[in-house]
Amino acid sequence: MTSRLSPAVAGLLQAIEKKDTDKTPPALRLQFPGGATVTQPNLPVAAPDAQTDPAYAVPSSFLPPGGADKDKTRYLCLSLDIDAPFPSFPFLSPILHGVQTDLVLSPATAAAGDGWTPLVSDVTAVVAYSGPRPPPISGPHRYIFLLYEQPAKLDAAGIRKTMQWPETITVSARMRFDAKAFETALGLGQVVAATTFLAKAS
């Protein structure tokens, strides 16, 4: 599985496990419609509460001078299951759980005062989010969400063309996803925010 992750992402996972905050990027907040909220890595989440794609937010330190309306940066979020089918034998991992493009800092809600700035997108996900479904006999799986700056000329259609993806990605095509090749093919840089959560079968 590690051969399908870039060295940077593999190192990020190790840093998260060791709680080495000096080597991890800023947190990415996840808020699921089911009520679960993830504000730091490896929080437990009940699988039924994470079946619908979450709302994303980044620390308000992302805000440039002048506020969110001055920032034209777009972001891409990649989500993966890195423990399939079992944490001790993850030969199906990473499993691709979603790709959302064209996320931008939200000027309308950036001043909520809670230390977070929401990311919003008006573009349909390139790969629709699929919630956690670990096998009943498995221990908790780690689900990782990686936020990248989206290259200026890259859009959803360009991703589908580059990756040779159809409009709908099958379950089998999501398995053993080569995240390292994905990063390289799209010209993605370093991860700018990330988080993980743990989920097991209910």
Going from the first residue of the chain to its last (202 residues), give the mean pLDDT of each consecutive group of 10, the final group possibly shorter: 86 92 91 94 95 94 62 92 95 97 79 80 96 94 97 94 93 95 96 95 80
> Do the domain assignments include residue 195?
no
DSSP reduced 3-state for 148: strand
Q: What range defines the domain where residue 164 resides?
A: 2-183
> Do the domain assignments include residue 188?
no
What is the layout of strands, in order, in the sheet containing 116-120?
A: 37-38, 29-31, 55-59, 116-120, 95-105, 75-81, 141-149, 191-199, 43-44
Predicted model pTM: 0.93
Tell me the backbone φ, ψ of residue 96, rounded to 5 degrees.
Answer: -75, 125
CATH number for the domain spanning 120: value is 3.90.280.10
Q: How many Å apart are CA 153 and CA 86, to the nearest integer?
A: 38
pLDDT value of residue 34: 86
> Do the domain assignments include residue 140?
yes
> Do the domain assignments include residue 189?
no
Domain tally, the chain: 1
Nearest Cα to Cα of residue 39 among 56, 51, 22: 56
> Do the domain assignments include residue 190?
no
Q: How many Å apart are CA 151 and CA 189, to the nearest integer?
A: 9
